[in-house]
Amino acid sequence: MKCCRIHLLMLACLLFAGCAERARSISHSDYAPQGSYGRTSPSDRVSDPDFQYRGELSEFDVLGIGRDEIASEADIQRTLDNSKPVKLHRGSSILLIQSGALFPDGPMVAELSKHFTVVPFSGVPVLRRSGRRAFETESPDPESYSKNLRLTAARGGNDMILCYWGMLESESEHLPTKTVSWVPIVNWAVPDEKQHMRIQLKLALLDVRSGNWSVLSPKPFEDVRISTSPRRGAVDQRQVERLKQLAYEAGVAELIHTHSDLAL
């Protein structure tokens, strides 16, 4: 009878085991309980407003692409005739921007600094009211925004602007032990959740002098970890930092391979 009850319990756990998916920016990657991503937490409300997450920079703004711009065939041909590949050289000075963050992540700065001079710059977008309550981060004049960014870089003696975006996608799989995870067994709890996480990175390299640009994206990286409820946040953040490190290393390697003659 006891054995039968155990089997029934396990079957019920399997039936109720499920998955929860969520996505977040690498610039807003702090752990939050399931279902709370995208909401303002109490700690966000009391922190310095200058350090709060305000959304992402628009790729159109950084590259100076107008969504409603009308181009002729002559414009396209003239641009093709004048365009040149974007090239990095050893010691090139890069204005580094992480979209959505006041400072680029340390591991990204460290990885790029092995080959280039890196000048960290803010990637916090300016919020503009577009309606009675709605806000948007995209500039109404992307070309002017991009030129102002290039002028800022030029005044700092930078050859290139590198802006990068990143997204963390995670899926939590409830294990069959979920319902009994709080039962203490010699001062530890049964692991009850498996989190699959993937990071995707996109980098935009912009030549300050010419305005020519290139966009690349390294392969996504994935990680899987099992956790218990009391340690969920710590495991999540270790997973985030591990994936960021892998993505940054791969992104810089691909950047060098594609846009420079440096040997790794």
Per-residue pLDDT tens over the stretch 45-103: 546 777 789 999 999 999 998 887 788 898 889 888 888 889 999 889 999 999 999 99
Determine, yes or no, domain membership for 12: no
SS3 103: coil
Determine, yes or no, domain membership for 8: no
Q: Which helix (H) or strand (E) holds 23?
A: strand 19-25
Determine, yes or no, domain membership for 7: no
Domain encompassing residue 128: 20-34+52-259
- Give Cα separations from 121 to 104, 125, 158, 248, 261 (angstroms): 7, 12, 12, 17, 26
Determine, yes or no, domain membership for 217: yes
Output the pTM of the full model. Answer: 0.79
Determine, yes or no, domain membership for 14: no
Determine, yes or no, domain membership for 232: yes
Cα separation of 96 and 110, whole Å? Answer: 12
- Higher-confidence residue: 199 or 46? 199
Number of domains in the chain: 1
SS3 138: coil
